Chains A and B, each alone.
Chain A
Amino acid sequence: MTSEAELLLRIRDLGCERGGRVVCRGQNLALAVGGSIWLRGRNGSGKTSLLRVLAGLARPTGGELWRAPRLASLFIGHQNALKDDLSVAENLRFLACLCALDDSPVAIDQALRTWGLWSRRAQATRALSQGLRRRLALARLSLAEHQRLWLLDEPFDALDDEGMATLSGQLYAHRTRGGGCVLSSHLPLRFDSLPQLEHWLEPAEVRA
């Protein structure tokens, strides 16, 4: 059993609901420093709801949620939070500010290069494809070195091979510097050397 000092996050017997309906209950999880939890389950099994509870966007229906004191986290949901009328660079800069990330011009430029968006930095975001939008939303990860907990909802959605490789690289770097992540994904994740915890969500037995 890991001691509390090495934990970023722990839930005990946690339940969550969506639209007044219980979608999962009795969840137990512990995320250690450098760890990663892969939430799995069928559609409607509560992956997104659980992530929203972990992020603090929704209240659990019961159980205990413990986060390491002064733990800064970054939540990236299904929606990309981009504005069509802003340029790629403007969007990233605002998102960085919104999430209290490093929004210095140098860091922003670097993040855009990392995610292959540099050549499009002045383009209006409305011209981006779905995959590029996802990349732009995820480019925040490159600025989130000090947010030790990453909560990502289907981050691999719409990404091409190159984008997936970039994301995997970011996740790997984050874990090796002592961060942790909880993410949901339908695709198998590959961390060459790092262990990966799989957590299956079963649909709660609810009689309508």
Chain B
Amino acid sequence: MSRSVTSAAPADACPPSKGVPARSLSAALLQRDLRLMLRRRGEAALPLGFFLVVAGLQPLGISPEAQLLRQIGPGLLWVAALLAALLPLPALFALDHADGTLEQMLLSEEPLWQLALAKAAAHWLGSGAPLVLLSPLLGLLYGLEGEELLVLALGLLIGTPVLSLIGALGAALTTGLRSAGALILLLVLPLLAPVLIFGAGAVLAVQAGQSAAPHLSLLGAELILAAVATPFLIAQALRISLE
């Protein structure tokens, strides 16, 4: 009975907010992260630089023998890509956590898993995508050719988003902890072993004259699994870290 005519405002006390922003928050978040990367180009280029240097130095340390390089090339390139993708992870949520953006994200009306997905997408665009584009060049360095290069790039195209998604989960779980960097490595690297195996395996299969399809399909399956499961897990991990 209290909600009668007592005053004009109360009953409809809370109009569904009218000044709702036109664009979605996850799009805005992705845009912001990319803009921040552009403003700090040196930092943003670190993963790519790391990938190039590591992949470029290995032949010098191991052996210039062409046959050997061709054999170990796919594995080395994948390991380099894996480590490069892990570089920017400690900062992924830590900066937003430190300056209070993360708690505003938790309060936002948009589901947290969508925001988590946007963060992982930004991470991939900053670390995974450039590696995919440059991998054929490095493949040449190891004497890979033709279809092998294509499969290497294709494998990275499917596999690096998995690195970003699982990596983001590791970053979320360690948000707010000291020495998060080392912890992320410990948490994430074992989970990423299958990606490494199937990614490098695809190229090796082509070298052995077999089809790369089974390996790539398994990579694809992992990507689907990661894309479905991790956003919710990341959201949950972030909630826990802020409590």
Beta-carbon nearest neighbor of A143 in chain B: B19
B104 touches A95 (CB 8 A): yes
Confirm or deny: A116 has a beta carbon within 8 angstroms of a beta carbon on chain B: no
Tell me, in angstroms, the Cα distance from A80 to B9 when the chains sit together.
Answer: 32
Q: In terms of DSSP, what is the predominant structure of the interface of chain A?
A: loop
Instruction: Determine the chain A residues whose CB is within 8 A of the CB of B106 once the complex forms.
Output: 57
Judging by beta carbons under 8 Å apart, are A146 and B19 in contact? Answer: yes
* Residue A102 lies at the interface, judged by CB distance under 8 Å to chain B: yes
Within 8 A of B (CB), among A53-100: 55-59, 68-72, 75, 77-83, 85-86, 90, 94-100
Query: Of B22, B36, B108, which is within 8 A of A99 by CB?
Result: B108
User: Is the beta-carbon distance between B28 and A5 smaller than 8 angstroms?
Assistant: no
A70 to B10, CA, bound (A): 12
Report which of B10, B19, B29, B107 forms a contact with A101, defined as CB distance below 8 A: B19
Closest to B7 in A: A6
A86→B99 contact, CB < 8 A: no
Contact between A8 and B99, CB atoms less than 8 A apart: no
Looking at the assembled complex, report how far the CB atom of A12 sits from the nearest CB atom of chain B, in whole angstroms.
Answer: 17
Known pairs A8-B13, A70-B16, A80-B99; A98 contacts B6 (CB<8 A): no
The answer to whether B25 has its CB under 8 Å from any CB of chain A is: yes
How many A residues, CB 8 Å from partner? 45
Beta-carbon nearest neighbor of A107 in chain B:
B19
Contacts of B7 in A (CB 8 A): 6, 33
Query: Would you list 18 pairs from A and B whose C-beta atoms are within 8 A, ordered by A residue?
Result: A5-B13, A33-B7, A58-B243, A70-B13, A70-B16, A77-B100, A80-B99, A81-B104, A83-B101, A85-B40, A96-B21, A97-B25, A97-B28, A99-B107, A100-B108, A104-B22, A146-B19, A178-B13
Since A6-B6, A68-B13, A81-B101 are in contact, a sample of 10 more A-B pairs with Cβ atoms closer than 8 Å, ordered by chain A residue number, is A55-B107, A72-B14, A75-B107, A81-B99, A85-B36, A85-B39, A86-B36, A94-B28, A103-B19, A103-B23
Binding site for A on B (CB under 8 A): 2-4, 6-7, 9-11, 13-23, 25, 28-29, 32, 35-36, 39-40, 98-101, 103-109, 242-243
